Chain A
Amino acid sequence: GAGVSQTPSNKVTEKGKYVELRCDPISGHTALYWYRQSLGQGPEFLIYFQGTGAADDSGLPNDRFFAVRPEGSVSTLKIQRTERGDSAVYLCASSTTSIDTQYFGPGTRLTVL
């Protein structure tokens, strides 16, 4: 079946703009995760959803970052007033349950000019 998909694959925006990044998890996976990966670093946890609710958002760097998963499937990561330091690859992963293997998507490369 289809894996985790993320759109867009690349996003270029200007400093101060608002962006939305979308994640389509594997069908039936109740757990969904967002990570951010900077060049030369490993992925860094941002937020974890169990169903529709954010079970752990301790990794969100500040209140400009927000994520939703209204129907327990697709999730959107929203970044307000983007800054150049937000430039990174944003990865989404899903799993059957919270302790099962996570399957990652290909990521969205965000560039803030």
Chain B
Amino acid sequence: LAKTTQPISMDSYEGQEVNITCSHNNIATNDYITWYQQFPSQGPRFIIQGYKTKVTNEVASLFIPADRKSSTLSLPRVSLSDTAVYYCLVEPGGSYIPTFGRGTSLIVHP
């Protein structure tokens, strides 16, 4: 499995855009990039998945450069409720066991 590296923690303020970058230098051709969000005292929640270029949904955007060796999760105009741990996963298509690292703890301040 491709190893991922992401910051341990980040701080932001309400209304700002937050970008969390994940490095995955040895990503394989059949790997997909998936991000999960975990609030305190809850299980992780799938937020977005992509293979290349850009993916956008109602929660976030995912930017993937052409070489796919990194990806950036973008959260527009964060609020206090976006305080959570964000996990970047790189998994083969069809994999049923997500492998979580330590994630990035995002704290949004008033």
- Residue numbers of A with Cβ under 8 A of B are 4, 31, 33, 40-45, 48, 56, 59, 91-93, 95, 98-99, 101-102, 104-107
CA distance A33 to B43 in the complex (A): 12
Number of B residues near A (Cβ < 8 Å) is 17
Sample (6) of A-B pairs whose CB atoms are under 8 Å apart: A42-B44, A42-B103, A45-B97, A91-B43, A92-B43, A104-B44
- Given A45-B97, A48-B97, A99-B94, A40 contacting B43 (CB threshold 8 A): no
Q: Which listed residue (B43, B95, B100) contacts A44, Cβ 8 A?
A: B100
CA distance A43 to B101 in the complex (A): 8
- Residue numbers of B with Cβ under 8 A of A are 41-46, 87, 94-103
Shortest distance between the CB of B76 and any CB in chain A (Å): 22
Residues of A within 8 A of B100 (CB): 41-44
Q: Tell me if A48 and B43 are in contact (CB < 8 A).
A: no
Residues of A within 8 A of B96 (CB): 31, 48, 56, 95, 98-99
Shortest distance between the CB of B44 and any CB in chain A (Å): 5
Residues of B within 8 A of A93 (CB): 43
Residues of B within 8 A of A48 (CB): 96-97
Residues of B within 8 A of A101 (CB): 46
Residues of A within 8 A of B41 (CB): 106-107
Shortest Cβ-Cβ A-B pairs, 9 listed? A104-B43, A42-B100, A98-B96, A91-B43, A45-B97, A101-B46, A43-B100, A99-B94, A106-B42
CA distance A44 to B99 in the complex (A): 7
Contacts A33-B97, A93-B43, A99-B96 aside, 11 further interface pairs with beta carbons under 8 A come to A31-B96, A41-B100, A42-B103, A43-B44, A43-B98, A59-B97, A91-B43, A95-B96, A102-B98, A106-B43, A107-B43
Shortest distance between the CB of B50 and any CB in chain A (Å): 14
